[in-house]
Structure 1
Amino acid sequence: MVLKTIYVVRHGFRSNWVVNPSTGEYTHNFPTPTGIPSDPSLASHGVEQATELASHLCYLTPPVDAIYSSPFYRCIQTLAPTLSQLNSRREKSSRLRIRLDTGLAEFYGLARFDHPRPATLDVLQKHFPNALDDTYRESSIESSKSGESIGTLHDRVAYAIHKIIERADADGTETILLCTHAAVMICLGRVLTGNMPPLESDDDFKCATCSFSKFLWDSEKPEHVPDVNWKGHGVQGRWECEVNGDCSFLTEGEERGWSFAMDETNLDPQLCVCTSNNQRRYHENH
Protein backbone atom coordinates (compact mmCIF):
# COMPACT_ATOMS: atom_id res chain seq x y z
CA MET A 1 0.00 0.00 0.00
CA VAL A 2 1.57 3.29 -1.16
CA LEU A 3 -1.20 5.59 0.07
CA LYS A 4 -0.83 6.20 3.80
CA THR A 5 -2.91 9.29 4.66
CA ILE A 6 -6.36 10.52 3.65
CA TYR A 7 -7.58 14.00 4.61
CA VAL A 8 -11.33 14.66 4.34
CA VAL A 9 -13.06 18.04 4.55
CA ARG A 10 -16.60 19.25 4.06
CA HIS A 11 -17.43 22.31 1.96
CA GLY A 12 -17.93 25.67 3.64
CA PHE A 13 -21.11 27.43 4.74
CA ARG A 14 -23.15 27.78 1.57
CA SER A 15 -25.95 29.92 0.21
CA ASN A 16 -29.39 28.43 0.72
CA TRP A 17 -32.05 26.96 -1.52
CA VAL A 18 -35.53 25.53 -1.11
CA VAL A 19 -36.82 22.32 -2.70
CA ASN A 20 -40.46 21.40 -3.25
CA PRO A 21 -40.47 17.80 -1.93
CA SER A 22 -43.44 16.85 -4.07
CA THR A 23 -42.20 18.10 -7.44
CA GLY A 24 -38.44 18.31 -6.94
CA GLU A 25 -38.41 21.94 -8.07
CA TYR A 26 -35.52 23.92 -6.60
CA THR A 27 -35.64 27.66 -5.99
CA HIS A 28 -33.03 30.01 -4.60
CA ASN A 29 -32.71 33.60 -3.44
CA PHE A 30 -29.52 34.33 -5.36
CA PRO A 31 -28.45 33.25 -8.85
CA THR A 32 -26.10 30.27 -8.81
CA PRO A 33 -22.83 30.42 -10.77
CA THR A 34 -23.63 27.32 -12.83
CA GLY A 35 -27.31 28.12 -13.33
CA ILE A 36 -28.32 24.97 -11.43
CA PRO A 37 -30.60 25.99 -8.51
CA SER A 38 -29.23 23.27 -6.21
CA ASP A 39 -25.60 24.18 -6.95
CA PRO A 40 -25.02 27.35 -4.94
CA SER A 41 -21.80 29.14 -4.17
CA LEU A 42 -20.48 29.60 -0.66
CA ALA A 43 -21.99 32.32 1.48
CA SER A 44 -19.57 35.08 2.51
CA HIS A 45 -19.03 33.27 5.81
CA GLY A 46 -18.22 30.09 3.89
CA VAL A 47 -15.58 31.97 1.90
CA GLU A 48 -14.00 33.04 5.19
CA GLN A 49 -14.12 29.45 6.43
CA ALA A 50 -12.44 28.22 3.23
CA THR A 51 -9.60 30.69 3.74
CA GLU A 52 -9.08 29.51 7.32
CA LEU A 53 -9.26 25.90 6.18
CA ALA A 54 -6.56 26.57 3.58
CA SER A 55 -4.25 27.98 6.24
CA HIS A 56 -4.71 24.75 8.18
CA LEU A 57 -4.35 22.34 5.26
CA CYS A 58 -1.25 23.93 3.78
CA TYR A 59 0.85 23.19 6.86
CA LEU A 60 -0.17 19.59 7.38
CA THR A 61 2.35 16.80 7.70
CA PRO A 62 2.47 14.84 5.50
CA PRO A 63 1.66 17.38 2.78
CA VAL A 64 -1.10 16.90 0.22
CA ASP A 65 -0.04 15.08 -2.97
CA ALA A 66 -3.39 14.91 -4.81
CA ILE A 67 -6.84 16.49 -4.45
CA TYR A 68 -10.25 14.95 -5.18
CA SER A 69 -13.59 16.71 -4.95
CA SER A 70 -17.30 16.40 -5.41
CA PRO A 71 -18.17 18.13 -8.70
CA PHE A 72 -20.60 20.53 -7.01
CA TYR A 73 -19.54 24.18 -7.14
CA ARG A 74 -19.40 24.76 -3.37
CA CYS A 75 -16.83 21.99 -2.88
CA ILE A 76 -14.51 23.27 -5.61
CA GLN A 77 -14.88 26.82 -4.29
CA THR A 78 -13.95 25.59 -0.82
CA LEU A 79 -10.76 24.03 -2.18
CA ALA A 80 -9.73 27.04 -4.28
CA PRO A 81 -7.74 28.89 -1.55
CA THR A 82 -6.01 25.65 -0.55
CA LEU A 83 -5.07 24.87 -4.15
CA SER A 84 -3.70 28.37 -4.64
CA GLN A 85 -1.56 28.25 -1.50
CA LEU A 86 -0.26 24.75 -2.16
CA ASN A 87 0.69 25.57 -5.76
CA SER A 88 2.46 28.77 -4.75
CA ARG A 89 5.09 26.52 -3.17
CA ARG A 90 5.43 24.09 -6.05
CA GLU A 91 7.23 24.21 -9.37
CA LYS A 92 4.94 24.93 -12.31
CA SER A 93 5.44 21.43 -13.69
CA SER A 94 4.29 19.81 -10.43
CA ARG A 95 1.32 22.00 -9.57
CA LEU A 96 -1.80 20.27 -8.33
CA ARG A 97 -5.20 20.24 -10.01
CA ILE A 98 -8.51 19.12 -8.55
CA ARG A 99 -9.85 15.77 -9.72
CA LEU A 100 -13.65 15.73 -9.84
CA ASP A 101 -15.34 12.48 -8.84
CA THR A 102 -19.09 11.82 -8.78
CA GLY A 103 -18.50 9.17 -6.13
CA LEU A 104 -18.00 12.07 -3.70
CA ALA A 105 -21.10 13.96 -4.87
CA GLU A 106 -24.14 15.01 -2.86
CA PHE A 107 -26.61 12.56 -1.30
CA TYR A 108 -30.21 12.76 -2.47
CA GLY A 109 -32.83 10.50 -0.91
CA LEU A 110 -35.21 8.31 -2.91
CA ALA A 111 -37.93 10.37 -4.57
CA ARG A 112 -40.62 10.28 -7.24
CA PHE A 113 -38.76 12.88 -9.31
CA ASP A 114 -35.30 13.26 -10.84
CA HIS A 115 -32.67 14.93 -8.68
CA PRO A 116 -30.30 17.55 -10.14
CA ARG A 117 -26.87 16.77 -11.50
CA PRO A 118 -23.73 18.87 -11.06
CA ALA A 119 -22.42 21.04 -13.88
CA THR A 120 -20.19 19.54 -16.56
CA LEU A 121 -16.42 19.85 -16.53
CA ASP A 122 -16.55 22.34 -19.41
CA VAL A 123 -18.85 24.64 -17.43
CA LEU A 124 -16.84 24.35 -14.22
CA GLN A 125 -13.54 25.08 -16.00
CA LYS A 126 -14.91 28.50 -16.94
CA HIS A 127 -15.41 29.29 -13.25
CA PHE A 128 -12.17 27.68 -12.06
CA PRO A 129 -9.61 28.11 -14.87
CA ASN A 130 -6.41 26.07 -14.52
CA ALA A 131 -7.75 24.47 -11.32
CA LEU A 132 -9.36 21.26 -12.60
CA ASP A 133 -7.67 18.13 -13.90
CA ASP A 134 -9.24 17.51 -17.31
CA THR A 135 -7.13 14.37 -17.79
CA TYR A 136 -8.66 12.57 -14.82
CA ARG A 137 -11.12 9.86 -15.73
CA GLU A 138 -13.07 8.81 -12.68
CA SER A 139 -13.97 5.17 -12.27
CA SER A 140 -16.72 5.77 -9.73
CA ILE A 141 -20.41 5.23 -10.33
CA GLU A 142 -23.00 7.98 -10.36
CA SER A 143 -26.01 7.73 -8.07
CA SER A 144 -29.45 7.19 -9.58
CA LYS A 145 -31.33 10.28 -10.75
CA SER A 146 -34.22 9.21 -8.51
CA GLY A 147 -31.96 9.18 -5.46
CA GLU A 148 -30.53 6.47 -3.25
CA SER A 149 -31.17 4.81 0.09
CA ILE A 150 -28.76 5.39 2.97
CA GLY A 151 -27.47 1.84 2.56
CA THR A 152 -26.83 2.38 -1.14
CA LEU A 153 -25.09 5.66 -0.33
CA HIS A 154 -22.62 3.84 1.92
CA ASP A 155 -21.89 1.29 -0.80
CA ARG A 156 -21.47 4.02 -3.42
CA VAL A 157 -18.96 5.83 -1.21
CA ALA A 158 -17.12 2.58 -0.44
CA TYR A 159 -16.76 1.83 -4.14
CA ALA A 160 -15.65 5.39 -4.91
CA ILE A 161 -12.93 5.54 -2.27
CA HIS A 162 -11.79 2.03 -3.19
CA LYS A 163 -11.19 3.19 -6.78
CA ILE A 164 -9.55 6.43 -5.63
CA ILE A 165 -7.16 4.46 -3.41
CA GLU A 166 -6.37 2.15 -6.32
CA ARG A 167 -5.55 5.17 -8.47
CA ALA A 168 -3.40 6.72 -5.74
CA ASP A 169 -1.41 3.51 -5.32
CA ALA A 170 -0.90 3.23 -9.07
CA ASP A 171 0.34 6.84 -9.17
CA GLY A 172 2.65 6.40 -6.17
CA THR A 173 0.66 8.96 -4.16
CA GLU A 174 1.09 8.89 -0.38
CA THR A 175 -1.38 11.57 0.78
CA ILE A 176 -4.70 12.70 -0.69
CA LEU A 177 -7.26 15.37 0.18
CA LEU A 178 -11.00 14.87 -0.42
CA CYS A 179 -13.70 17.57 -0.30
CA THR A 180 -17.30 16.46 -0.10
CA HIS A 181 -20.70 16.85 1.61
CA ALA A 182 -22.00 16.05 5.11
CA ALA A 183 -23.59 12.66 4.46
CA VAL A 184 -20.68 11.48 2.31
CA MET A 185 -18.17 12.62 4.93
CA ILE A 186 -19.91 10.45 7.53
CA CYS A 187 -19.95 7.50 5.14
CA LEU A 188 -16.25 7.93 4.33
CA GLY A 189 -15.42 7.58 8.01
CA ARG A 190 -17.45 4.40 8.25
CA VAL A 191 -16.23 2.70 5.09
CA LEU A 192 -12.56 3.55 5.68
CA THR A 193 -12.56 2.24 9.24
CA GLY A 194 -15.03 -0.56 8.53
CA ASN A 195 -17.01 0.54 11.58
CA MET A 196 -20.71 0.60 10.73
CA PRO A 197 -22.81 1.46 13.81
CA PRO A 198 -25.86 -0.63 14.74
CA LEU A 199 -28.08 2.22 13.59
CA GLU A 200 -27.37 4.34 10.51
CA SER A 201 -28.52 7.35 12.55
CA ASP A 202 -25.84 6.89 15.25
CA ASP A 203 -23.67 9.96 15.73
CA ASP A 204 -20.11 8.83 15.04
CA PHE A 205 -18.16 10.82 12.44
CA LYS A 206 -18.37 14.62 12.52
CA CYS A 207 -19.09 16.74 9.45
CA ALA A 208 -19.54 20.44 10.26
CA THR A 209 -18.84 22.97 7.50
CA CYS A 210 -15.13 23.09 6.65
CA SER A 211 -14.40 20.45 9.30
CA PHE A 212 -11.29 18.33 8.89
CA SER A 213 -10.75 14.60 9.41
CA LYS A 214 -7.61 12.51 9.01
CA PHE A 215 -7.33 8.78 8.34
CA LEU A 216 -4.15 6.72 8.52
CA TRP A 217 -3.70 3.32 6.92
CA ASP A 218 -3.21 0.61 9.52
CA SER A 219 -0.51 -1.73 8.23
CA GLU A 220 -1.32 -4.21 10.99
CA LYS A 221 -4.73 -4.95 9.47
CA PRO A 222 -4.84 -7.12 6.31
CA GLU A 223 -5.92 -5.64 2.99
CA HIS A 224 -9.36 -6.56 1.75
CA VAL A 225 -11.08 -5.54 -1.47
CA PRO A 226 -14.67 -4.53 -0.54
CA ASP A 227 -16.38 -5.57 -3.74
CA VAL A 228 -19.34 -6.93 -1.78
CA ASN A 229 -18.91 -6.39 1.94
CA TRP A 230 -16.77 -3.59 3.38
CA LYS A 231 -18.31 -3.71 6.88
CA GLY A 232 -15.88 -4.94 9.49
CA HIS A 233 -13.00 -4.87 7.02
CA GLY A 234 -12.57 -1.31 5.76
CA VAL A 235 -11.56 -0.26 2.27
CA GLN A 236 -8.15 -1.58 1.10
CA GLY A 237 -7.35 -2.71 4.62
CA ARG A 238 -8.54 -0.86 7.68
CA TRP A 239 -7.91 2.83 8.23
CA GLU A 240 -7.68 4.49 11.63
CA CYS A 241 -9.42 7.82 12.22
CA GLU A 242 -6.82 10.06 13.85
CA VAL A 243 -8.77 13.34 13.56
CA ASN A 244 -12.59 13.42 13.51
CA GLY A 245 -14.23 16.60 12.20
CA ASP A 246 -11.80 19.08 13.75
CA CYS A 247 -12.94 22.73 13.64
CA SER A 248 -10.45 24.22 16.10
CA PHE A 249 -8.78 26.27 13.34
CA LEU A 250 -12.06 28.02 12.40
CA THR A 251 -12.81 31.34 14.09
CA GLU A 252 -16.46 30.43 14.72
CA GLY A 253 -15.71 26.79 15.51
CA GLU A 254 -18.14 24.01 14.63
CA GLU A 255 -21.16 25.06 12.56
CA ARG A 256 -23.91 23.23 10.70
CA GLY A 257 -23.01 19.82 12.02
CA TRP A 258 -25.23 17.04 10.73
CA SER A 259 -26.04 13.37 11.28
CA PHE A 260 -28.42 10.86 9.75
CA ALA A 261 -30.49 11.13 12.95
CA MET A 262 -31.32 14.73 12.01
CA ASP A 263 -32.84 13.46 8.80
CA GLU A 264 -35.64 11.76 10.79
CA THR A 265 -35.94 9.38 7.87
CA ASN A 266 -39.36 7.85 7.55
CA LEU A 267 -39.73 5.86 4.37
CA ASP A 268 -43.02 5.16 2.65
CA PRO A 269 -43.31 1.38 3.19
CA GLN A 270 -45.02 0.98 -0.19
CA LEU A 271 -42.83 3.18 -2.37
CA CYS A 272 -39.72 3.52 -0.18
CA VAL A 273 -39.67 7.24 -0.91
CA CYS A 274 -38.36 9.81 1.53
CA THR A 275 -41.05 11.95 3.11
CA SER A 276 -41.16 15.65 2.33
CA ASN A 277 -40.02 16.82 5.76
CA ASN A 278 -36.81 14.80 6.00
CA GLN A 279 -35.87 15.60 2.39
CA ARG A 280 -36.24 19.30 3.14
CA ARG A 281 -34.35 19.12 6.46
CA TYR A 282 -31.35 17.44 4.85
CA HIS A 283 -30.86 20.05 2.16
CA GLU A 284 -31.49 22.95 4.53
CA ASN A 285 -28.37 21.77 6.39
CA HIS A 286 -26.26 20.84 3.38
Structure 2
Amino acid sequence: MSWDNPDPNDKYAYPTGLNWDPRLTDFGYNQSRELSQYFVVNNIKIDRIYSSPLYRAVETANIIAEKINFRYFSRKCEWCSPRINKLNAGCAPLPLLREFFPRINPTYISISKLPDINETSEELHERLSRTIQGFIEVKEDIRSILIISHATSTFTGVRALIKQIYAMINCATCSLTKCIRNGGNWEIELNGDTSFLSHGSVRNWVFKKEWEDNYDVKEIHKDNGLIN
Protein backbone atom coordinates (compact mmCIF):
# COMPACT_ATOMS: atom_id res chain seq x y z
CA MET A 1 0.00 0.00 0.00
CA SER A 2 1.09 3.59 -0.55
CA TRP A 3 1.28 5.55 2.68
CA ASP A 4 1.58 9.01 1.09
CA ASN A 5 -1.27 10.85 2.77
CA PRO A 6 -3.28 13.16 0.49
CA ASP A 7 -4.52 16.65 1.27
CA PRO A 8 -6.92 16.32 4.26
CA ASN A 9 -9.26 18.77 2.50
CA ASP A 10 -9.51 16.56 -0.58
CA LYS A 11 -12.87 14.84 -0.04
CA TYR A 12 -12.30 12.51 -3.01
CA ALA A 13 -9.26 11.06 -1.22
CA TYR A 14 -11.35 10.01 1.82
CA PRO A 15 -14.30 7.95 0.51
CA THR A 16 -15.52 6.93 3.97
CA GLY A 17 -15.32 10.46 5.34
CA LEU A 18 -12.64 9.49 7.88
CA ASN A 19 -9.67 11.84 7.58
CA TRP A 20 -7.20 9.17 8.74
CA ASP A 21 -8.41 6.56 6.25
CA PRO A 22 -7.67 7.64 2.66
CA ARG A 23 -7.86 5.67 -0.55
CA LEU A 24 -4.72 4.51 -2.35
CA THR A 25 -2.68 7.15 -4.13
CA ASP A 26 -2.19 6.67 -7.86
CA PHE A 27 1.25 5.23 -7.08
CA GLY A 28 -0.19 2.80 -4.54
CA TYR A 29 -2.99 1.81 -6.91
CA ASN A 30 -0.46 0.92 -9.61
CA GLN A 31 1.56 -1.08 -7.08
CA SER A 32 -1.56 -3.06 -6.17
CA ARG A 33 -2.26 -3.80 -9.83
CA GLU A 34 1.30 -5.03 -10.28
CA LEU A 35 0.93 -7.30 -7.26
CA SER A 36 -2.34 -8.69 -8.62
CA GLN A 37 -0.66 -9.38 -11.96
CA TYR A 38 2.06 -11.33 -10.12
CA PHE A 39 -0.55 -13.82 -8.91
CA VAL A 40 -1.97 -14.21 -12.42
CA VAL A 41 1.37 -14.63 -14.18
CA ASN A 42 2.54 -17.22 -11.65
CA ASN A 43 -0.83 -19.02 -11.62
CA ILE A 44 -1.04 -18.74 -7.84
CA LYS A 45 -4.27 -20.09 -6.36
CA ILE A 46 -5.61 -18.31 -3.28
CA ASP A 47 -8.29 -19.92 -1.11
CA ARG A 48 -8.93 -16.99 1.23
CA ILE A 49 -8.16 -13.28 1.27
CA TYR A 50 -8.18 -11.44 4.60
CA SER A 51 -7.72 -7.70 4.90
CA SER A 52 -7.31 -4.95 7.42
CA PRO A 53 -10.48 -2.84 7.36
CA LEU A 54 -8.59 0.37 6.64
CA TYR A 55 -9.65 1.61 3.20
CA ARG A 56 -6.27 1.30 1.45
CA ALA A 57 -5.91 -2.29 2.58
CA VAL A 58 -9.42 -3.27 1.49
CA GLU A 59 -8.90 -1.46 -1.81
CA THR A 60 -5.72 -3.47 -2.39
CA ALA A 61 -7.51 -6.72 -1.54
CA ASN A 62 -10.33 -5.84 -3.92
CA ILE A 63 -7.93 -5.12 -6.80
CA ILE A 64 -6.39 -8.56 -6.32
CA ALA A 65 -9.77 -10.29 -5.92
CA GLU A 66 -11.04 -8.75 -9.16
CA LYS A 67 -7.88 -9.67 -11.06
CA ILE A 68 -7.94 -13.34 -10.06
CA ASN A 69 -11.76 -13.49 -10.26
CA PHE A 70 -12.06 -14.32 -6.58
CA ARG A 71 -15.67 -14.59 -5.42
CA TYR A 72 -15.22 -12.79 -2.11
CA PHE A 73 -12.73 -11.79 0.51
CA SER A 74 -13.10 -11.48 4.25
CA ARG A 75 -12.53 -8.31 6.25
CA LYS A 76 -10.69 -9.13 9.47
CA CYS A 77 -11.20 -6.56 12.19
CA GLU A 78 -8.21 -7.80 14.20
CA TRP A 79 -5.82 -6.45 11.58
CA CYS A 80 -6.84 -2.84 12.23
CA SER A 81 -4.34 -1.02 14.41
CA PRO A 82 -5.56 -0.77 18.02
CA ARG A 83 -3.83 2.60 18.20
CA ILE A 84 -5.96 3.85 15.32
CA ASN A 85 -9.10 2.45 16.92
CA LYS A 86 -8.23 4.13 20.23
CA LEU A 87 -7.31 7.55 18.90
CA ASN A 88 -9.65 7.88 15.95
CA ALA A 89 -12.79 6.08 17.09
CA GLY A 90 -12.45 3.12 14.80
CA CYS A 91 -12.47 2.18 11.15
CA ALA A 92 -15.29 2.51 8.65
CA PRO A 93 -18.26 0.22 9.44
CA LEU A 94 -18.75 -2.88 7.32
CA PRO A 95 -21.99 -1.73 5.58
CA LEU A 96 -20.22 1.42 4.39
CA LEU A 97 -17.19 -0.49 3.11
CA ARG A 98 -19.46 -2.92 1.26
CA GLU A 99 -20.93 0.01 -0.67
CA PHE A 100 -17.48 0.40 -2.23
CA PHE A 101 -16.40 -3.26 -2.14
CA PRO A 102 -19.36 -5.67 -2.48
CA ARG A 103 -16.97 -8.64 -2.63
CA ILE A 104 -16.52 -8.38 1.15
CA ASN A 105 -18.08 -11.38 2.86
CA PRO A 106 -20.70 -9.89 5.24
CA THR A 107 -21.22 -13.16 7.13
CA TYR A 108 -17.61 -13.61 8.20
CA ILE A 109 -17.04 -13.68 11.97
CA SER A 110 -13.61 -12.56 13.10
CA ILE A 111 -11.45 -15.06 14.98
CA SER A 112 -10.43 -12.52 17.62
CA LYS A 113 -11.34 -9.00 18.68
CA LEU A 114 -9.29 -5.89 19.19
CA PRO A 115 -8.44 -4.96 22.77
CA ASP A 116 -10.12 -1.94 24.30
CA ILE A 117 -6.79 -0.26 25.07
CA ASN A 118 -3.47 0.15 23.30
CA GLU A 119 -1.17 -2.89 23.28
CA THR A 120 2.48 -3.36 24.04
CA SER A 121 4.50 -5.04 21.29
CA GLU A 122 4.55 -8.26 23.34
CA GLU A 123 0.75 -8.23 23.66
CA LEU A 124 0.44 -7.63 19.92
CA HIS A 125 2.70 -10.62 19.24
CA GLU A 126 0.60 -12.84 21.52
CA ARG A 127 -2.66 -11.70 19.92
CA LEU A 128 -1.44 -12.24 16.37
CA SER A 129 -0.03 -15.62 17.36
CA ARG A 130 -3.52 -16.65 18.49
CA THR A 131 -5.05 -15.24 15.31
CA ILE A 132 -2.58 -17.02 13.02
CA GLN A 133 -3.20 -20.27 14.86
CA GLY A 134 -6.92 -19.72 14.36
CA PHE A 135 -6.35 -19.50 10.61
CA ILE A 136 -4.40 -22.75 10.62
CA GLU A 137 -7.05 -24.61 12.62
CA VAL A 138 -9.95 -23.72 10.30
CA LYS A 139 -11.67 -27.02 9.41
CA GLU A 140 -11.83 -26.43 5.67
CA ASP A 141 -9.81 -27.45 2.64
CA ILE A 142 -7.63 -24.34 2.60
CA ARG A 143 -4.09 -24.49 1.28
CA SER A 144 -3.28 -20.84 0.63
CA ILE A 145 -4.41 -17.59 2.23
CA LEU A 146 -3.46 -13.99 1.49
CA ILE A 147 -3.42 -11.37 4.24
CA ILE A 148 -3.39 -7.68 3.32
CA SER A 149 -2.10 -5.78 6.31
CA HIS A 150 0.24 -3.08 7.60
CA ALA A 151 3.91 -3.16 8.50
CA THR A 152 3.57 -3.75 12.25
CA SER A 153 0.94 -6.47 11.89
CA THR A 154 2.84 -8.05 9.00
CA PHE A 155 6.20 -8.45 10.65
CA THR A 156 4.66 -9.41 14.01
CA GLY A 157 2.35 -11.97 12.41
CA VAL A 158 5.17 -13.53 10.39
CA ARG A 159 7.40 -13.73 13.45
CA ALA A 160 4.59 -15.41 15.36
CA LEU A 161 4.05 -17.92 12.57
CA ILE A 162 7.71 -18.91 12.17
CA LYS A 163 8.27 -18.67 15.96
CA GLN A 164 11.26 -16.32 15.63
CA ILE A 165 10.50 -13.18 17.60
CA TYR A 166 13.60 -11.31 16.39
CA ALA A 167 13.45 -12.25 12.69
CA MET A 168 14.06 -9.36 10.28
CA ILE A 169 11.00 -9.05 8.04
CA ASN A 170 11.00 -6.62 5.11
CA CYS A 171 7.83 -4.51 4.97
CA ALA A 172 7.97 -2.24 1.92
CA THR A 173 4.68 -1.00 0.48
CA CYS A 174 2.89 -3.72 -1.50
CA SER A 175 5.71 -6.20 -0.83
CA LEU A 176 4.98 -9.91 -0.58
CA THR A 177 6.12 -12.22 2.20
CA LYS A 178 5.38 -15.91 1.71
CA CYS A 179 5.54 -18.56 4.42
CA ILE A 180 5.35 -22.28 3.69
CA ARG A 181 4.83 -25.25 5.97
CA ASN A 182 7.72 -27.69 6.37
CA GLY A 183 6.57 -30.57 8.51
CA GLY A 184 5.35 -29.05 11.75
CA ASN A 185 7.17 -25.76 11.23
CA TRP A 186 6.77 -22.69 9.04
CA GLU A 187 9.56 -21.15 6.97
CA ILE A 188 9.90 -17.93 4.99
CA GLU A 189 10.14 -18.47 1.24
CA LEU A 190 9.78 -14.82 0.22
CA ASN A 191 10.75 -12.00 2.57
CA GLY A 192 9.20 -8.72 1.48
CA ASP A 193 9.63 -9.52 -2.22
CA THR A 194 9.19 -6.52 -4.54
CA SER A 195 10.68 -7.97 -7.74
CA PHE A 196 7.29 -7.65 -9.47
CA LEU A 197 7.02 -3.90 -8.73
CA SER A 198 8.27 -1.52 -11.42
CA HIS A 199 9.74 0.82 -8.80
CA GLY A 200 11.11 -1.96 -6.60
CA SER A 201 11.24 -1.61 -2.83
CA VAL A 202 9.61 1.59 -1.58
CA ARG A 203 9.28 2.69 2.06
CA ASN A 204 10.65 -0.45 3.66
CA TRP A 205 10.08 -0.17 7.41
CA VAL A 206 12.56 -1.47 10.00
CA PHE A 207 11.61 -1.94 13.66
CA LYS A 208 14.68 -1.48 15.83
CA LYS A 209 13.58 -1.99 19.44
CA GLU A 210 12.26 -5.32 20.62
CA TRP A 211 9.58 -5.78 23.25
CA GLU A 212 9.26 -2.11 24.13
CA ASP A 213 5.92 -0.37 24.45
CA ASN A 214 6.76 1.71 21.38
CA TYR A 215 8.84 0.51 18.46
CA ASP A 216 11.65 2.72 17.17
CA VAL A 217 10.64 2.76 13.53
CA LYS A 218 12.90 3.88 10.71
CA GLU A 219 12.29 3.86 7.00
CA ILE A 220 14.75 2.45 4.46
CA HIS A 221 14.80 4.28 1.14
CA LYS A 222 15.86 2.73 -2.15
CA ASP A 223 19.37 4.09 -1.62
CA ASN A 224 19.41 2.22 1.73
CA GLY A 225 19.69 5.48 3.64
CA LEU A 226 17.85 5.76 6.94
CA ILE A 227 15.55 8.58 7.91
CA ASN A 228 13.45 9.13 11.01
Structure 1-normalised TM-score?
0.68
Matched, 1:159 2:148: no
Contact 1:67–1:99, Cα closer than 8 Å, also in 2: yes
The alignment yields a C-alpha RMSD, in angstroms, of 2.8
Identity percentage over the alignment? Answer: 29
Residue of structure 2 equivalent to 1:258: 205
Cα distance, 1:43 vs structure 2: 0.9
User: Within 5 A, what are the aligned runs for 1:87-126?
Assistant: 87=69, 95-106=70-81, 108=83, 114-126=87-99
Instruction: Find the structure with the greater CA-based Rg.
Output: 1
CA distance in 1, matches of 2:71, 2:48: 7
Work out whether 1:180 is the aligned partner of 2:114. Answer: no
Residue 243 in structure 1 maps to residue 190 in structure 2:
yes
Aligned residues: 217
The amino acid that maps onto 1:243 is L
Whether the aligned pair in 2 keeps the contact of 1:15 and 1:41 (CA below 8 Å) is no
The unaligned stretches of length 5 or more in structure 1 are 1-11, 18-26, 88-94, 198-202, 222-237, 268-273
The CA deviation at 1:30 is: 2.9
Matches within 5 A, 1:10-49: 12-16=1-5, 28-31=8-11, 32-49=14-31
Q: What residue is the counterpart of 2:172 in the other structure?
A: 208
Give the superposition deviation at 1:29.
4.5
Which stretch has the larger CA shift, 149-158 or 245-254? 149-158
Q: Which amino acid aligns with 1:242?
A: E
The letter for the 2-side match of 1:254 is S
Q: Name 1:200's counterpart in structure 2.
A: none
Shift of 1:61: 5.2
* Larger relative contact order (Cα-Cα within 8 Å, sequence gap ≥ 6): 1
Q: Deviations over 1:80-114 (max 9, x none)?
A: 22111111xxxxxxx421101122223539xxx64
d(CA) in 1 for partners of 2:88 and 2:140? 34
Q: 1:47 to 1:104 in 2, by over 3 A?
A: same
The TM-score with structure 2 as length reference comes to: 0.85
